[in-house]
Amino acid sequence: MIKWFEIALWKRILAAMVLGVVVGFVWGDGVSAIAWIGQLFIRLIRMVVVPLVFVTLVSGVISMGDPSKLGSLGVRTLAIYLITTLIAISIGLILAVAMQPGMGVDLSAVAPTAVQETVPLGERLMAIVPENPFAAMVEGNILAIIFFALLLGISLLTIGDPGKPVADFMSSAAEAMLRITHWIMEAAPFGAFALIAQLAGTAGVGALLDVLGLAIAVVIACFSHMILMHGVIIMRVVLNLSAMNFFRGARDAMLMAFSTSSSSATLPISMSCAEKNLGVKPVVASTVLPLGATINMDGTGLYVGIVTVFGAQAFGIDLNFVDYLLIAGSTTLVSIGTAAVPGASLFLMAAVMDTIGMTPEQNAAVVGFILAFDRPLDMLRTVVNVGGDLSVSTAVANWEGEFDKEVFDNPLKN
Ligand code: ASP
């Protein structure tokens, strides 16, 4: 008899997903009976996000030993997050122009969907400084948690000896949280099975047929960006590392992103993959990844870009070069502001469509049209979001000398 734990985790998750699709199709609406398994699994991962980010970030800063290093790490991280997102959006726009997915699509019969007001940028920036760090933790406001954890880590570094007990406490707490994450990952096959079964049983993957052109453009853009930008350019050309090893190391996190459609729910697994498989030292993993899960969304960027052009094509709006620049700029902002939860970008893309002069009614019709098909595309774009975070963290770790090539080339078995 094959022993369960001897099978690599990613194989168990993948097999569970395939089984989930089959069960979903056969069982249909009845799958809601097992929906609780998926929900329970998501709750388990969400449970560790806040304490994991907080304690690993504080202990990561302490392990760095020199607060001034944080400056170069921060600048590099933000710069490369921005560049990769802009490239993702450009790939999306080029494909949307070349493939014309919106040509001939009739949106007049679509029931419009209310779109959400976007929070102004100034307000969003202000919220990075928490009025109360405990409230930030309770609300799960990741940027505010990062801000406070960085300050606490730096202060512990600068006070030296008196800070030691708290520093030790943080590093053992980080160990404990990573252990809990490891246990939760063992439940992933069951969670992924239930989540996928529910999707296949209720939404029906077949519904995707109606938006085939759009879906194909999104799929091609996701794959091209992941393989060309992150596999070839960052791994091969810039870092001179094996792209295969990167994708192998990132596999568990990408599968998790696919089944949960949420970068933030995937965060604990991304952090564990970065450290155990990609050789990213804790200081980089604990700073770059939580930040990336919150603000770096390559997949979301390319998706919003494609849908906007799709909408313009469907309504016969001619776009010129300046319009494309406007779309790229506002999509970057929207991708930064999108929450790392399922379907989040769907309700923010109206802000981008506004910039090219689409009316609120037209925006609502486009969102209403893609609403039903969003989930499968969300799964894909979340994989790209998470893959991008992992690739950037590997690059930053290399540049900061916080990279272990041994581990990257021979990842620990899990
Ligand atoms: N589901 C995406 C994520 O969590 C966000 C989105 O594009 O809706 O990364």
**Atom number, ligand 1, closest to the C-alpha of residue 264:** 4
pLDDT of 102 > 90? The answer is no
What residues contact 382, with CB distance under 8 A and at least 6 apart?
257, 258, 260, 261, 262, 263, 266, 299, 342
Index of the ligand 1 atom closest to the CA of residue 340: 4
Average pLDDT in the 35-56 region? 85
Q: What is the pLDDT of residues 56-71, one digit of tens each?
A: 888 878 877 777 777 8
Helix/strand/coil for 280:
strand
CA angle, 218 then 221 then 222, to 5°: 85
Ligand 1 atom closest to the CA of 374, numbered from 1 = 8
DSSP labels for 182-199?
HHHHHTHHHHHHHHHHHI
CA 341 – ligand 1 centroid, Å: 5
DSSP 8-state code for residue 229: I
Q: How far is the CA of 199 from the centre of ligand 1 (A)?
A: 16
Closest ligand 1 atom number to CA of residue 265: 4
Residue 91 φ then ψ, to 5°: -60, -45
CA of 292 to the centre of ligand 1 (A): 12
* Dist. CA 286–CA 57, nearest whole Å: 5
Pocket test for ligand 1, best of 297, 307, 308, 377 (most atoms within 8 A of CB): 297
φ/ψ of 273, rounded to 5, equals: -60, -45
Residue of the CA atom closest to atom 1 of ligand 1: 342
pLDDT computed for residue 334 by the predictor? 81
SS3 of 367, please? helix
pTM of the model: 0.81
Q: What are phi and psi of 200, to 5 degrees?
A: -65, -35
For the chain, list the domains and their CATH numbers: 4-408 (1.10.3860.10)
Determine the residue of 269, 381, 384 to mutate for testing ligand 1's pocket, defined as the one with the most ligand atoms within 8 A of the Cβ atom: 381
Atom of ligand 1 minimally distant from the CA of 386:
9
Check residue 227 and report its DSSP letter: I
Distance 263 CA to ligand 1 centre (A): 6
Index of the ligand 1 atom closest to the CA of residue 303: 7
Confidence tier at 365 by pLDDT (50, 70, 90): confident
Instruction: Give residue-wise pLDDT tens across range 139-174.
Output: 887 778 888 998 998 899 899 899 999 999 998 998
Mean pLDDT over 363-391 rounds to 87
Mutate to test the pocket of ligand 1, among 254, 338, 373 (most ligand atoms within 8 A of CB): 338
Residues with CB under 6 A from ligand 1: 261-263, 297, 300, 338, 340-345, 378, 381-382, 385
User: What average pLDDT does the segment 315-340 reach?
Assistant: 87
Residue 247 contacts residue 273 (beta carbons within 8 Å) = no
Both tokens of 236, joined, read 């091969």
